[in-house]
Amino acid sequence: MRDEPVRDAGGGMWSVATPRPDAISPDRSGPSATEPEYVEGYDAAARLAAAERRPLFVVFGASWCHWSGALARGPLADRDIVARSRRFVCVFVDADRDAATCREFGVTAFPTLLVIDAEGQERFRATGATGATGLAAALDAVRPPGPAQRRFADDGRRAEAATDVTR
């Protein structure tokens, strides 16, 4: 992991870098059907996920990493994965631009994928080549709290409050 951007005079392995997942679509006017909708920056994504009580899908990668590009063109471009990702707040963390977030999560190899539930608990971590089938199962295992779950949690708080009042 590096803290500075990659600069290459040409001809080296860095000159054949694969694009970041959020740079693959030529039309950046909005999310495409072939990639997850990424929020800019981990902190903004975490705030949005907390406010909306939605889980996070975090992709750590680097523009110079062959496997990050392969992930972007493969499993992350799979229509089923893209459809599943809509239930999540998705963020791409570029290792060269945001090394501090990589360190915070202990990410030292790319690509690394994390699925964090709505309560902030890491539920899935994969490093390296990840297939669409395994990723789909990981995304399916983490569901945002539905109305019944929220109502149950609210009823529990109300019951506690009522108990406190009657004591």
Whole-model pTM over 0.85: no
The pLDDT of 93-99, averaged and rounded, is: 96
Q: Write the pLDDT tens digit of every residue in 9-58.
A: 433 333 333 344 544 333 334 445 688 999 999 999 999 999 999 999 99
- Indicate the range of 55-69, 84-98, 133-147 predicted with least confidence: 133-147
Residue 88 lies in a domain: yes
**pLDDT for residue 34:** 80
116 assigned to some structural domain: yes
Within a domain: residue 50?
yes
How many domains, in total, are found in the chain? 1
Domain that holds residue 138: 13-166
* Sheet architecture: strand order including 38-39: 38-39, 89-94, 56-61, 112-116, 122-127
Q: Would you say residue 63 lies in a domain? A: yes
Mean pLDDT, residues 127-136? 92
- Domain containing residue 77: CATH number: 3.40.30.10
| Tokens encoding 119 | 């309560």
